[in-house]
A = this chain, B = another copy of it.
């Protein structure tokens, strides 16, 4: 086990090397790198020259020990392969980088353990702020970890019962519109697959579903609500289940944009034709919804704007830490396409 003996060849020049090279003191070099104006032009140039020659840059660790801000924003999403989050991230990144921040993205794959671990990692690395989508609002480990965090935090699509800014899509409203639409077409057995009720988005979708039924005076069959997980596979399985009921559903709502693929796959494997045999709505407008055959009626909201607003929420708090928490609700709209029709007559 060869541990290097003697001084290890320092791979990077230090501030001292620059100082020597430019025949000035380390203090002066520091002033130059931090753009302190109290340095004569002549010396500044000499130092800059030495910096370039040596390829010097300040060691960010040594720097981090003194500076309070790192200009780093951490972003935790449960699933990075969700194109929805990807678009949100883009919106955020644009605002953030314009303000001089760098976005560090961590994907947790929906595992709470990873979420907690990554959260810690980001905090320990001293990010200036955090933007998160957690997979479970009630998990105690997460809640405990969250309580200790002093870094400004923006919750996306979640409600953790902590004092923090948050931004969510108005899923309840969007879903109510969609269900009302299906109801008006004559559907009475509308299935929905969506994520856990332990997330705000899941709850809101169910809420909208119920409200629409109530407004229309139609009772809800609880067996038609499948709130297990936001994955494609889950959507596939539950759609199969929904179609195999003694009294099958005549419409399926994919409540989460990863779900649509699962729903369509299941329907396809059953040989069902959309919208003749069954109508489909997707909560979350994606390219798949737009370009599927037939195109899918979807609940849409502005992802980029969502991301931008989330970033602005954080940026504002970074400047004014004492403002009371803000909560933004992003509106959504129903985009009617070709996947919905009257239910088959013989049902």
Residue ranges of A at the interface with B (Cβ–Cβ < 8 Å): 11, 55, 57-62, 64-65, 80-83, 86-87, 89-90, 93-94, 97, 102-107, 109, 114, 118, 120-121, 124-126, 148, 150, 261, 264-265, 268, 287-288, 290-295
Per the bound structure, the CA–CA distance linking A133 and B65 in Å amounts to: 32
Name the residue of chain B whose CB is nearest to the CB of A121.
B102
User: Is there an interface contact between B81 and A126, defined as CB atoms closer than 8 Å?
Assistant: no
- 20 A–B contact pairs at CB < 8 A? A11-B150, A57-B120, A59-B65, A60-B61, A61-B62, A62-B65, A81-B90, A86-B86, A90-B107, A93-B109, A97-B114, A103-B107, A104-B104, A104-B106, A105-B106, A105-B107, A268-B291, A288-B292, A291-B293, A293-B295
Per the bound structure, the CA–CA distance linking A177 and B175 in Å amounts to: 44
Per the bound structure, the CA–CA distance linking A121 and B96 in Å amounts to: 15
Per the bound structure, the CA–CA distance linking A196 and B94 in Å amounts to: 24
User: Is there an interface contact between B288 and A291, defined as CB atoms closer than 8 Å?
Assistant: yes
User: Is there an interface contact between A103 and B102, defined as CB atoms closer than 8 Å?
Assistant: no
Q: Which of B60, B81, B150, B265 contacts A125 (CB 8 A)?
A: B60
- Return the 7 tightest CB-CB contacts between A and B, nearest first: A293-B293, A81-B86, A61-B64, A105-B105, A261-B287, A60-B124, A61-B61
Per the bound structure, the CA–CA distance linking A97 and B121 in Å amounts to: 13
User: Is there an interface contact between A90 and B109, defined as CB atoms closer than 8 Å?
Assistant: yes
Per the bound structure, the CA–CA distance linking A64 and B87 in Å amounts to: 33
- A12 nearest CB across to chain B (Å): 9
Per the bound structure, the CA–CA distance linking A120 and B11 in Å amounts to: 16
Name the residue of chain B whose CB is nearest to the CB of A90.
B81
- A331 nearest CB across to chain B (Å): 22
Point out the residues of chain B lying under 8 angstroms from A265, CB to CB.
290-291
Per the bound structure, the CA–CA distance linking A305 and B239 in Å amounts to: 29
Q: Which of B65, B82, B292 contacts A61 (CB 8 A)?
A: B65
Point out the residues of chain B lying under 8 angstroms from A291, CB to CB.
261, 264-265, 268, 288, 292-293
Name the residue of chain B whose CB is nearest to the CB of A60.
B124
Per the bound structure, the CA–CA distance linking A292 and B260 in Å amounts to: 12
- A269 nearest CB across to chain B (Å): 12
Please name 15 further chain A to chain B contacts, defined as beta carbons within 8 Å, in addition to the given A80-B105, A293-B293, sorted by A numbering.
A11-B150, A55-B148, A59-B124, A60-B124, A60-B125, A60-B126, A64-B64, A65-B65, A81-B83, A81-B86, A89-B107, A104-B106, A265-B290, A288-B288, A288-B291
Per the bound structure, the CA–CA distance linking A261 and B291 in Å amounts to: 7
Name the residue of chain B whose CB is nearest to the CB of A67.
B61
Q: Which of B57, B103, B264, B294 contacts A124 (CB 8 A)?
A: B57
